[in-house]
Structure 1
Amino acid sequence: FLGRMLFSGEEATKKAKVLSGGEKVRCMLSRMMLTNANVLLFDNPTDHLDLESITSLNKALTSFKGTILFGAHDHEFIQTIANRIIEITPTGIIDKLMEYDDYIADEELQEKIKEMYNV
């Protein structure tokens, strides 16, 4: 079923063991979204995805009604999806309701973060 949703032609009948990393991720993400979960947990969800897949994922997650917890290195993905930034430092936690670019641009906050890492 997922193969027919994500691929065309003979590609739709591929066995899972022969899928590329990106294809496996696309199948997994599609399956998660079909289960109507209220929480999604991701670790670098854009790894192994091509630009088209990342764009589709961003679009799907921005309309997701539940909670999304994720760690990522993809700036555009973080800026698009995150509305709350939680950073765990050696000396405490920073928890801010703001967009990622605002979080990075806040000089006072960045100074506090720097102090929290300089134990």
Structure 2
Amino acid sequence: GVTTSQSYIAKDLNDNFDDQDETILDWLRDFAEEEQKDNTSLRGMLGQMLFRGDDSLKEIKVLSGGEKVRITLAKMMLLKANVLLMDDPTNHLDLESIQSLNDAVVNFKGGIIMTSHDHEFLATTANHVIEVSSKGLVDRVDTTYDEFIATESIQEKVKALY
């Protein structure tokens, strides 16, 4: 809608970062509002994403998968979107990063559409589950992921989709 702003994190981030010669700090600056472009603000944001000291001076092209996910999440924070699209956001993240992401998702005030293979992440964050196939969908509002997979009547509908 006209009142939404979206931000997206892809499952495979390599296309976004290959052949990038700029540093993490410079890359992130491109997405910051004017008052956030100073090194102090950006380093503070990177500190929240578990980057320490000279990590902010690393070139984008040498980052690990987890580091790419973390700076993409920092970018999403800077963009202040109210709708997040997340495709397997816990891929490549260590346990500490997953827990931080989990807390952020639970406290996020906007809408999130996500896919994940991480059962615990879905179980602790999802409150509206949709199973989609080429034959249709099963849609359950106010249902946790564990309730969705444990409810026999829901699973019968899911099986009919395949």
Alignment gaps of 5+ in structure 2:
1-41
Q: Which residue of 1 aligns with 2:154?
A: 109
Q: Percent identity?
A: 53
Of the candidates 1, 15, 26, which is equivalent to residue 70 of structure 2? 26
TM-score normalised by structure 2 residue count: 0.68
TM-score normalised by structure 1 residue count: 0.91
Greater RCO structure (CA 8 Å; 6+ sep): 2
Q: Which residue of 2 aligns with 1:44?
A: 88
Alignment gaps of 5+ in structure 1:
none
Amino acid of the residue matched to residue 134 of structure 2?
A: P
Q: Any idea what SS the aligned residue of 1:45 has? A: coil
C-alpha distance in structure 2 between counterparts of 1:115 and 1:47, whole Å: 30
Amino acid of the residue matched to residue 161 of structure 2?
A: M
Aligned positions of 1:7-26 closer than 5 A? 7-26=51-70
Of the candidates 118, 122, 128, which is equivalent to residue 84 of structure 1? 128
Deviates more, 1:106-115 or 1:3-12: 3-12
Q: Deviations over 1:67-109 (max 9, x none)?
A: 1001110001111111101111232111101000000110111
Contact 2:46 2:71 in 1 (8 A): no
Whether 1:74 aligns to 2:118 is yes
Q: Over aligned residue pairs, what C-alpha RMSD do you find? A: 1.4
Contact 2:138 2:157 in 1 (8 A): no
* Count of aligned pairs between the two proteins: 117
Amino acid of the residue matched to residue 114 of structure 2?
A: F
Contact 1:85 1:99 in 2 (8 A): yes
Q: Which residue of 2 aligns with 1:58?
A: 102
Contact 1:25 1:49 in 2 (8 A): yes
Contact 1:4 1:13 in 2 (8 A): no
